[in-house]
């Protein structure tokens, strides 16, 4: 198999990239391990920042998002001292989120990519990657095979094979396990509050995020290594009630739990995110903890930058943007990491055995006070929360 840009992985990163390249008439082939049904059903993030909404809109990929997505502009923080809301849509740059479940976005992107004449093979697992020749070997139901492009885009997520194709001596890896785990829960229940709500409690963090009129996402901080099966529906709702302080703020609208899985808060960045003919996009380039919902937004940002750089190289013989792809993306990746790290420190109590847990608690209190009272801090929060 021979193509111009060979893309590994049909998540948001690979699909946005593929669509943007097809719009320029560039030949692309996407190889995806999962089946179409599997990737279209995978529940993931749902908060698209302003830049993501712009990219999707400008490139004709936003019909579903504009029709079914919901604008969100407020978040709330709850703890022992009460609750306050931040209407971030009126702070900072005045930007909002669009809430649109990622599997719906992926479904739209696949349909549009095929419409644009893109080639896409499901059930194909890439096993070997050669960055120098932009060649991969793969395995599928019919056996094994080889594919080659002029360029290779590694969009295969955090456990993918493409990032391993950059020689270890050429990269610096920055990996951190934040020592925190969330039980991520999807419930067949309407949202309980108008706003995204972050609750801080001695039992641990709890979060509430609207998803669609019928489905609401909740998070519960749990000990790393906890078994999701140990969390029955009853136990989940009871613990959410405690941490969300329903006695004080009113009940949650309950419904069946349809998905429960443990998410470990990890960061894993490599530098550079390109080598020879290989360019990494999305989680393959940098894994970010979900604490600020930046993962999919970084993927879309990088896909647009890489699409522009590849288009310059292929249609105008101009390699400048391609040569500096990694240098362009990494400062933005680190800004997002920094903000998500700040969110982790805001939302969670002391994680490891701290010599003085009271100190951490007091710092968290001060962070929250500052966010509640200081307009400059609120503006900065709003810009970082919705922006990249
Ligand atoms: N061969 C082929 N496909 C592969 C291989 C492989 N060896 N390894 C992984 N894949 C596929 C996965 O099946 C998946 O569909 O690559 C895709 C990677 O997609 P995502 O994990 O969604 O990663 P990305 O596109 O970078 O998504 C960005 O969205 O919700 C978030 O957690 C997600 O933060 C991430 C973001």
Q: In sequence order, what are the beta bridge partners of 352? A: none
Predicted-complex ipTM score: 0.98
Specify whether 60 is located in the same domain as 165.
Answer: yes
Q: What is the CATH number of the domain that holds 373?
A: 3.30.9.10
Same domain assignment for residues 44 and 105: yes
Question: Does any domain span residue 167?
Answer: yes
CATH code assigned at 271: 3.50.50.60
Give me ligand 1 centre to Cα 41, in Å.
13
Residues recognised as catalytic: 72, 198, 290, 294, 385
Q: Is the same domain home to 53 and 155?
A: yes
Pair 157, 233 in one domain: no
What gap in Å lies between CA 94 and CA 277, rounded to an integer?
Answer: 39
Q: Are residues 36 and 107 in the same domain?
A: yes
**282 part of a folded domain:** yes
Same domain? For 189 and 245 the reply is: yes
Looking at residue 353, its pLDDT comes to 56
Query: Would 85 be classed as within a structural domain?
Result: no
Give yes or no: residues 51 and 161 share one domain.
yes
User: CA–CA separation, 281 vs 18, rounded Å?
Assistant: 12
Atom of ligand 1 nearest to the CA of 45: 30
Measured from the CB, is residue 9 less than 6 Å from ligand 1? yes
- Assess whether 289 and 160 both reside in one domain: yes
Sheet of strand 151-154: strand arrangement: 119-121, 28-31, 5-8, 151-154, 278-280, 274-275
With H, G, I as helix, E, B as strand and everything else as coil, classify residue 296.
helix
Query: Mind listing the pLDDT tens digit for each residue in 51-110?
Result: 999 999 999 999 999 999 999 999 999 999 999 999 999 999 999 999 999 999 999 999
- Considering the domain boundaries, does residue 91 fall inside one? no
Domain that residue 199 falls in: 179-264+354-386
In a domain, 321, yes or no: yes
Helices (H), the chain: 12-23, 36-41, 50-58, 63-68, 102-115, 233-243, 246-249, 295-315, 320-323, 325-347, 357-373, 375-386
Asked if residue 278 is part of any domain, the answer here is yes
Write the pLDDT tens digit of every residue in 261-295.
Answer: 999 999 999 999 999 999 999 999 999 998 888 99
Q: Does 356 have pLDDT greater than 90? A: no
Do both 214 and 332 map to the same domain? no
Q: Give the total number of structural domains in the chain.
A: 2
- Determine how many CB atoms are found less than 10 A away from the CB of residue 125: 16
Cβ–ligand 1 distance for 34 under 6 Å, the answer yes
Q: What are phi and psi of 262, to 5 degrees?
A: -90, 130
Distance CA 39, CA 82 (A): 41
Q: Does residue 374 belong to any structural domain of this protein?
A: yes
Give the whole-angstrom CA distance, residue 29 versus residue 9: 10
| Same-domain check for residues 243 and 381 | yes
Is 314 in contact with 150 (CB distance < 8 Å)?
A: yes
112 within domain boundaries: yes
Out of 116-120, 192-196, 221-225, the most confident range is 116-120
Q: Tokens for 276?
A: 């020879």
């Amino acid at each position: 198999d021979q193509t111009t840009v060979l893309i590994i992985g049909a998540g948001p990163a690979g699909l946005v990239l593929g669509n943007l390249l097809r719009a320029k008439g560039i030949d692309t082939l996407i190889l995806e391990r999962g089946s179409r049904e599997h990737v279209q059903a995978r529940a993931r993030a749902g908060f698209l920042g302003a830049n993501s909404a712009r990219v999707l809109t400008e490139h004709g990929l936003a019909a579903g998002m504009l029709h079914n997505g919901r604008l969100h502009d407020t978040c709330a923080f709850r703890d022992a001292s009460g609750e306050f809301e931040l209407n971030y849509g009126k702070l900072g740059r005045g930007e909002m989120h669009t809430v649109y479940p990622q599997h719906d976005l992926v479904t739209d992107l696949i349909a549009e990519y095929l419409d644009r004449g893109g080639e896409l093979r499901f059930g194909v697992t890439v096993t070997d990657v050669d960055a120098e020749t932009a060649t991969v070997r793969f395995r599928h139901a019919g056996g094994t095979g080889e594919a080659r492009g002029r360029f290779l885009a590694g969009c295969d997520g955090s456990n993918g094979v493409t990032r391993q194709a950059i020689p270890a001596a050429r990269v610096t890896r920055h990996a951190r396990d934040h020592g925190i785990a969330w039980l991520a829960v999807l419930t067949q229940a309407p949202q309980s509050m108008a706003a995204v709500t972050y609750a801080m409690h001695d039992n641990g963090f709890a979060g509430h995020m609207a998803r669609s009129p019928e489905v609401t996402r909740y998070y519960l901080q749990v000990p790393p290594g906890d078994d999701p099966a140990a969390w029955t529906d009853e136990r989940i709702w009871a613990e959410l009630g405690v941490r969300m302080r329903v006695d004080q703020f009113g009940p949650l609208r309950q419904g069946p739990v349809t998905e429960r899985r443990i998410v470990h808060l990890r960061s894993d960045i490599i530098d550079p995110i390109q080598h020879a003919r290989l360019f990494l996009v999305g989680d393959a380039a940098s894994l970010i903890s979900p604490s600020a919902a930046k993962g999919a937004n970084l993927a879309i940002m990088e896909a647009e930058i890489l699409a522009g750089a590849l288009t310059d190289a292929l249609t105008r013989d101009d390699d400048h943007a391609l040569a500096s792809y990694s240098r362009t993306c990494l400062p933005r990746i680190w800004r997002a990491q920094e903000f998500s790290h700040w969110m982790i420190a805001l939302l969670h109590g002391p994680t490891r055995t701290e010599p003085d847990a009271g100190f951490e608690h007091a710092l968290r209190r001060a962070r929250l006070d500052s966010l509640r009272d200081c307009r400059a801090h609120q503006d900065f929060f709003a810009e970082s929360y919705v922006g990249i």
